[in-house]
Amino acid sequence: MEYLQLNLINRSQDANNSQIVIFQQNEADSYEEIAVAWRVIENCRTGDSYPFRFPMQYIVGANTSDGNYVPTQYAVAGEAFNVTGETQYALDFCRRGPEEPQSIQVNNNLNENIDVNIYKDGRLLAVKSDVNPSGAAVFEFKPTIWIGVTSNITEGEIMNSAIIANINTELNLLGIAKANIIMTDGGSVTDNQFQFTLEPLD
């Protein structure tokens, strides 16, 4: 299957119309202090549902320090690319093999710094900024998503460690093709007093 079909169902009594944020962590980032708000769900009131797709493929892109964009490429874990060019930039496939089977790597073959971006379902998922010439950006994602309730977050925005620390529900999507994500009142201080449970569907 090319993508997983997920459906968020709000069964909580939340009257504040809170934002629900979904993201993945780049496991190759040793600091794990930032993450991108991949999806921000708003106006999901009690009883509402929000279906969305979770593709298995990623899209890789980059931009140079002076604002030039490198054409994007589809990618899966285990692939690597080189950013090349002088006046016409390109993202060239360079490897698929056992060296790093779980990661996507983008090598900077330019003479200037670049930002490397990973997208999923057309939305920004992760960023590696200021990759030096001859340097590389490495991305590795577990088959999980993080989900929680927050406020004042914009989709595609980089979240800081303080926001991430308040989101502690990780849902394992391994082996899942279709599932509901049920949001309920948690009755505790964890995860802003809300709970999220994955219910696989046949």
Number of domains the chain is built from:
2
Q: What residues are paired with 19 via a beta bridge?
A: 150
62 lies in the same domain as 38: no
Q: What is the separation, in whole angstroms, between the first and last Cα of the chain?
A: 14
Residue 46 and residue 66 in one domain: no
pLDDT at 144: 96
Grouping H, G, I as helix, E, B as strand and the rest as coil, residue 170 is strand
Shared domain check, 51 and 62: no
Question: Are 180 and 154 within one domain?
Answer: yes
- What pTM was estimated for this model as a whole? 0.91
Continuous segment of H or E residues that includes residue 164:
helix 161-165
Residues 123 and 109 in one domain: yes
**Alpha carbon separation from 80 to 28, 71, 91, 94, 192 (Å, rounded):** 14, 15, 10, 6, 39
196 plus 157 within the same structural domain: yes
> Of the ranges 57-66, 91-100, 147-156, 187-196, which one carries the lowest mean pLDDT score?
187-196
- Residues 152 and 194 occupy one common structural domain: yes
How confident is the model over 26-75, as pLDDT tens digits?
Answer: 998 765 568 999 999 998 889 999 999 999 999 999 999 888 899 999 99
Residue in the block written with tokens 């939305």: 123
> Looking at the structure, do residues 174 and 102 belong to the same domain, yes or no?
no
Q: Are strands 39-41 and 58-64 parallel, antiparallel or unpaired?
A: unpaired
- Residue 31 belongs to a domain with what CATH number? 2.60.40
Record the tokens describing residue 31, joined without a space: 């600091």
Residues 120 and 23 in one domain: no
Q: Are 135 and 89 in contact (CB under 8 A)?
A: no
Separation in Å, CA 51 to CA 39, 92, 180: 12, 34, 9
Whether 90 and 109 have beta carbons less than 8 Å apart is answered as no
pLDDT category at 151 given cuts 50, 70, 90 is confident
Q: Which DSSP letter does residue 174 get?
A: T
- 48 in the same domain as 7: yes
pLDDT of residue 121: 95
Q: Which amino acid, 93?
A: F
> What does the alpha-carbon distance between residue 170 and residue 172 come to, in Å, rounded to a whole number?
7
Q: Quote the pLDDT of residue 161.
A: 84
Q: Are residues 72 and 123 in the same domain?
A: yes
Domain assignment of residue 134, given as a range: 58-139
List the one residue out of 180, 194, 188, 190 whose CA is nearest residue 149: 194
If pLDDT is split at 50, 70 and 90, which confidence band does 191 have?
A: very low
Average pLDDT, the chain: 89
Tell me which of 93, 124, 139 is where a domain ends. 139
Residue carrying the six token digits 């620390």: 165
Point out the least confidently predicted range of 12-21, 72-81, 125-134, 167-176. Answer: 12-21
Q: What is the structure's pLDDT at 31?
A: 54
Categorize the per-residue pLDDT at 86 as very low, low, confident or very high, splitting at 50, 70 and 90.
Answer: confident
